[in-house]
Amino acid sequence: MNILKAIGLFLLDFVETIVIALSIFVIVYIFLFQPHQVKGSSMEPSFQDGEYLLTNKIDYRFKTPQRGDVIVFKAPQNEEYDYIKRIIGLPGETVSIINSQVFIDSVKMDESAYLPVEVKSRGGRFLGENGSYSLGENEYFVLGDNRDHSSDSRDWGPVGQANIIGRAFFVYWPATKFGLVSRVVYSGLSIEALNLVPVTPS
């Protein structure tokens, strides 16, 4: 009888441990962090096809998304899919593509921190060459780092803040890429601090 009682207590403890662990997992998954797999080549060379990362879902509950953040969001054309792109334009700004280069409020962006020098940002169906778009409230203009092979805001327009799941912040597979996702910080409001270079469009 004592053996049966001991087994029963063990099973009860085991079930309680499983329930607590699952509850913690659900809370973390829903409110804090969510795993995602990178699919496709649109964010190369920063992120490769097949990489696994964690998305920070709590960050934007306390602050607004920043330029340079890599975000995961519901695809505007089909919200069943999640996309990963980099924020380029912020609410209230005007984004232009002139001679295959990105301008923010008529100032050319310096994206050398994450783009090879030879990369061009050609226009798309939504924002074509020599075109401009003024972002509304809670709208973000996002681009893939692999500009020639990325479906992004150039093709289907801005991303609403409500569609943003969170910020990509930690790569956990493959092991060679294990670590925090580096952030591009544009501190201050001056042209220099924003990492932008003033250029007169030709």
What CATH number has the domain bearing residue 122? 2.10.109.10
Given the structure tokens 């580096």, which residue do they identify? 182
pLDDT tens-digit map of 134-161: 999 999 999 999 999 999 999 999 999 9
pLDDT tens-digit map of 19-41: 554 444 444 444 568 999 999 99
Does 190 lie in the same domain as 111? yes
Query: From the candidates 42, 46, 96, 153, which is the catalytic residue?
Result: 42
Does 104 lie in the same domain as 157? yes
Q: Is 85 a catalytic residue?
A: yes
Does 188 lie in the same domain as 119? yes
- Each residue's pLDDT, cut to its tens digit, for the chain (202 residues) gives 677 666 666 566 656 666 554 444 444 444 568 999 999 999 999 999 999 999 999 999 899 999 999 999 999 888 889 999 999 999 999 999 999 999 999 988 888 889 988 899 999 999 999 999 999 999 999 999 999 999 999 999 999 999 999 999 999 999 999 999 988 875 433 334 444 444 443 3
Does 18 lie in the same domain as 93? no
Distance CA 49, CA 43 (A): 8
Does 21 lie in the same domain as 115? no
Does 60 lie in the same domain as 97? yes
The residue segments making up the domain with residue 10 are 1-34
First and final CA of the chain: distance in angstroms?
90
Assign 30 to helix, strand or coil.
Answer: helix
Domain count, the chain: 2
The 3-state secondary structure of 59-73, one letter per residue = HHHHCCCCCCCEEEE
Distance CA 182, CA 171 (A): 10
Assign 125 to helix, strand or coil.
Answer: coil
Does 156 lie in the same domain as 102? yes
Does 146 lie in the same domain as 185? yes
Closest CA to 153 of 198, 197, 99, 104: 104
For residue 156, the cross-strand partners are none
Does 181 lie in the same domain as 92? yes
Instruction: Answer yes or no: are the C-beta atoms of 131 and 40 closer than 8 Å.
Output: no
For residue 180, the cross-strand partners are 170
pLDDT at residue 198 in the model? 41
Does 28 lie in the same domain as 54? no
Given the structure tokens 């409001």, which residue do they identify? 189
Does 2 lie in the same domain as 99? no
Does 102 lie in the same domain as 9? no
Instruction: Answer yes or no: are the C-beta atoms of 94 and 132 closer than 8 Å.
Output: yes
Query: From the candidates 46, 57, 85, 150, which is the catalytic residue?
Result: 85
Q: Is 5 a catalytic residue?
A: no
pLDDT at residue 25 in the model? 44
